[in-house]
Structure 1
Amino acid sequence: MNDTPLANCERDFLLKAIEEKKRLDGRQPYDYRRMKITFGSDYGCCFVDLGKTKVVAQVSCELVAPKESRPNEGIMFFNIELSPMASPAFERGRQSELSVTLNRQLERCLRNSKCIDTESLCVVSGEKVWQIRVDVHLLNHDGDLMGAASVAAITALCHFRRPDVSIQGDEVTVYGPEERDPIPLSIYHMPISVSFSFFQQGTYLLVDPCEREEQLMDGLLMIAMNKHREICSIQSSGGILLLKEQVIRCSKIASVKVSEITELISKALENDKKARKAGSRCGFAESMPQERITALKKDETSVEVSDVMDRANDIIQKSEVPPRAVSSVVVPVPGVGQVGQGLQNSWGLEEEDDDDDDDENGGGELEEKVMKMEEESRGGDVVEISDSEEEEVVVLHSETAK
């Protein structure tokens, strides 16, 4: 069942606790783990939590041709999917021996026990019947897979509603849930599987074993029974020989457990029906807690706006008159142009450096350029100024050209 085997010290500890009629989770030998049943938003979707074992069952239907041997009966199909998400021991896309055993046991429990009226699934004899498919997916594995799967499957079947149909001649019309209310399945009884594990050749007995207990057990007995104490199926595995008294004792224990689980299923279905009728939160949305965002909450304080103008006038009168701005002549830096009366411009002036040699050289070059510009302006219409330090060429048009 698990890729990681138990250590010898852990094995000895568990066996010693079983001899003293103690279990790791604090249960008694004949106690079940806490079971929780919830439903999805759609009909036929059921979630079952048996301790840490989590299973989801989904029921679907479609119109197909019936079997030749039974033309007046519908078809029931069951499938159990063991994914690696539930346990590392399971492989994806490969049907293991455990999955085959669980599929057969589920078919014996639900289909062979005739808990569902298959004749009511017939639409047209020999032509059209309903095929009911039950897919069971294991979400987390912690022991007693058959017990959780059987509860999820029968609860999903009780919760499922198939579409209504009408027949006019050879034409079959399927109505959606908006046109006509869907019809529930006809279920006679609810068989539920109860698992019993035996230790030390049947000396000790535990009900609803967890995964660690299943690794230590010598044999497993699964009894499917309804609340009327009718045994639907029974299967033993592990190669252990059981006495008649042991089987009878297990059947008596199973009758009590099945009655309790059946009452729990009926209560869950009734609560879901009331919630859907009232239009309140139901199914998976009911288990989600309501969370409110408090980070954006603002403290609302009352603000009086009646005397705002009076207060504003008082503040203006009490305030000091700002000093008048005094215009001052600012000496412009080289390369700055200013607009206004009494302001100086520095266009065409080079930046002065601290070095005297640079000042002398820069001044001489400037005078030569100015003289050259005057000579060229007299002789031609267009003046071109080129500077070795500047990459751009500026073209100036003189007024005499006009």
Structure 2
Amino acid sequence: MEHRLANTFTMTVNEKKYIENALISEIRVDGRRPFDYRNLTIKFGSEDGSSEVQLGQTQVIGFITGQLVQPYKDRPNEGTFAIYTEFSPMADPSFEPGRPLDSAIELGRIVDRGLRESRAVDTESLCVVAGKLVWSIRIDLIIIDNGGNLVDAANIAALAALLTFRRPECTFGGDDGHEVIVHPPDEREPLPLIIHHVPVAVTFAFIGKENTVVIDPTHFEEAVMGGSMTVALNTNGDVCSIQKAGGGGVLQSVIMQCLRIASVKAGDITSKLKNAVESYNTQRSLKKIKRHNPPSVDVSKHLTERLRMGSAESSGEGL
């Protein structure tokens, strides 16, 4: 893990000028073009609903847990889900244990907004008994390494965990037939969540006096950017949410250009995400197949016994 910047003041003026001047020639310090993403890797843990996403040098781990709770009074037929972020101190010198920083709270809200306002998760399917019991889904996102653009990496980690999470199946039993029975995974196959669509977050950074636009900023570029904008879109091109943070105003033409680019990038990320989930589901199904190996047979021994029996019979006939 390379050294991380604790704040923007640790960068010299020459370093900041170098980044800004290089962008004028459409060159970035890591060799990418302005609208290129870093390498994206999506992995899954041994348990359902756990994911590990690495975007360049940024690494985020996500995992999901669920429990039965009472629903909100104004929404008795809907389950709930919430996102919690944890900034590991080893990820960045500015991250401290204890009370969550404002950046951690903001990160959770941005990811939550893209999922909640677009109603990507079917919360009605999480209802067990209307007005009494619903499933509460908790998404924990842990920042392992801050290499820049935490929003996009955390968003992908949350989506990967949601797409592979499975909750226990519930049935009714007991003497009166109203007792809720939660079946363990070895008794009944858990049920996946119903995800209507996949809102992918794409972050743009505005750097320099001319507001040069780059996608997927690194921690160096975040240190010199004047503002950022995160757009969440699905494969249909629907804009699920827009978050503008810091900096001055942005022209409408620039926003429209960012939306067009984000639509293409969101489609590419969605394809990678679905391929990774499909591969995980295939491996998961193969693990559940019970293979019955037939007992091994010693062919040479069997043939030897047959030959001995044939020789004995021939000797008997000669006598």
Q: Confirm or deny that 1:20 pairs with 2:25.
A: yes
Q: CA deviation at 1:147?
A: 0.3
Distance 2:77 2:47 in 1: 28
SS at match of 1:209: coil
Distance 2:243 2:284 in 1: 39
Distance 1:224 1:32 in 2: 16
Distance 2:163 2:98 in 1: 29
Task: Give aligned pairs, total.
Answer: 280
Native 8 Å contact 1:163 1:183 kept in 2: yes
The structure-2 alpha-carbon separation of the partners of 1:80 and 1:265, relative to structure 1 and needing over 3 Å to count, comes to same
- Give me the identity figure in percent: 40
Q: Confirm or deny that 1:187 pairs with 2:195.
A: yes
Q: CA deviation at 1:167?
A: 1.5
Native 8 Å contact 2:44 2:52 kept in 1: yes
TM-score (norm 2): 0.85
Native 8 Å contact 2:20 2:208 kept in 1: no
Instruction: Find 2:233's aligned residue among 216, 225, 234.
Output: 225
CA RMSD of aligned residues (A): 1.3
Distance 1:192 1:246 in 2: 20
Partner of 2:279: 271
Distance 2:231 2:214 in 1: 14
Q: CA deviation at 1:202?
A: 4.6
* Larger RCO (CA under 8 A, 6+ residues apart): 2
Runs of 4+ in 1 over 6 A off after TM superposition: none
Partner of 2:254: 246
Distance 1:85 1:259 in 2: 32
Partner of 2:135: 130
Q: CA deviation at 1:204?
A: 1.0
Native 8 Å contact 1:201 1:240 kept in 2: no
Q: Confirm or deny that 1:116 pairs with 2:121.
A: yes
Mean Cα displacement is larger for which, 66-75 or 18-27? Answer: 18-27
Distance 1:218 1:263 in 2: 31
Q: Confirm or deny that 1:70 pairs with 2:78.
A: no
Native 8 Å contact 2:68 2:136 kept in 1: yes
State how 1:87-102 maps to structure 2 within 5 Å.
87-102=92-107
Partner of 1:34: 39
State how 1:132-147 maps to structure 2 within 5 Å.
132-147=137-152
Q: Confirm or deny that 1:200 pairs with 2:208.
A: yes
Native 8 Å contact 1:202 1:242 kept in 2: no
Partner of 1:44: 49
Distance 2:246 2:209 in 1: 10
Distance 1:11 1:87 in 2: 20
State how 1:3-402 maps to structure 2 within 5 Å.
3=7, 5-168=10-173, 169-279=177-287
Which has a greater percent of strand?
Answer: 2
Native 8 Å contact 1:48 1:151 kept in 2: yes
Distance 1:18 1:43 in 2: 42
Q: Is there any run of 5+ residues in structure 2 with no aligned partner, and where?
A: 289-319
Native 8 Å contact 2:50 2:64 kept in 1: yes
